[in-house]
Amino acid sequence: MLIFKKIKDTTGKIQQFRKQGLKIGFVPTMGALHAGHISLIKTCKKQCDITVCSIFVNPTQFNDKSDYDKYPSTIERDMEMLNDAKCDVLFLPAVNEMYPEGFENKSKIDFGYLAKILEGEKRPGHFNGMAQVVEVLLRIVQPDKLFMGQKDYQQQLIVAQLIKKRKLKTELVVGATVREKDGLAMSSRNVRLDAASRKLAVEISKTLKETKAAIRQPKLSIAQIQEGGMIRLAKFKGIETEYFEIRNAETLKPVKDKLEKLVALTAVKIGGVRLIDNMLLN
């Protein structure tokens, strides 16, 4: 695996690949890699000739400084995992390589409603920072295909908007959420859960699964099912629910009709660790 810290080395090498007619795929990450990330690398390898991964913990997307400070870093292990997965290129920039002129986002895109709700409401500025870094990364790598996880549901909808609004020539491919055996969605933040919190965390995916089952019951309305999810989570002392919502899977607008494409999305705090998850319901 080639490892580059500098933008010009990365673009130079990728240009060479492109001149050879090779199809470039890109998997951006913040490191502390797990099987969820590696599944994206594997999908990328199947669909593209060259797989580029980036590891960059982007300061501008953290609205909570302590979350940024505590973000896990396992770079040696990450490199081993990427090597084993036969990733071709790792882009590993420093903060000043990505933001030589400071953090100011001069060309902010207005994502409207999509960026104001759920994660956008709970983490002000998060999506602007995320879109800022994804745009910089896409201009560096210029991939034919970009691979992102369904785990960050609202994020992939916003990135799809970013690609559209900036008229970028990349196709977004969304990979399914990889889960632990008990159903907990894999996340770099899971390592920060203590034993008791880790045990409780299984209730997130259990609640989502029960919600999915409840949708098939004709007598229950969407409002009742959504409330049922909130009530179920509230039963567990130690789980602090920020939101549990059933929304239209394409627009994330509130829904009334079960015939719409539905997604349940939730964010909770357990033992001081913020976790998000979601499930398509129909």
Closest CA to 156 of 232, 263, 56: 263
126 is catalytic: no
**Nearest residue (CB) to ligand AMP, 7 versus 146:** 146
Q: What are phi and psi of 53, to 5 degrees?
A: -115, 145
For 182, which DSSP code? T
Measured from the CB of residue 223, what is the shortest distance to ligand AMP in angstroms?
29
Calculate helix-pair angle for 222-234, 195-215, nearest 10 degrees: 160
How many CA atoms within 13 Å lie on the side-chain side of 133? 26
Closest CA to 51 of 90, 100, 5: 90
Measured from the CB of residue 162, what is the shortest distance to ligand AMP in angstroms?
13
Measured from the CB of residue 52, what is the shortest distance to ligand AMP in angstroms?
13
**Nearest residue (CB) to ligand AMP, 134 versus 214:** 134
- State which amino acid sits at residue 13: K
**Nearest residue (CB) to ligand AMP, 30 versus 163:** 30
**Nearest residue (CB) to ligand AMP, 76 versus 101:** 76
List 34, 37, 45, 247, catalytic entry: 37
Residues 6+ apart with CB under 8 A from 220: 214, 228
Measured from the CB of residue 221, what is the shortest distance to ligand AMP in angstroms?
31
Binding site for ligand AMP (CB under 6 A): 29-30, 36-37, 39-40, 148-149, 151-152, 175, 177-178, 185-188
Catalytic sites, residue numbers: 37
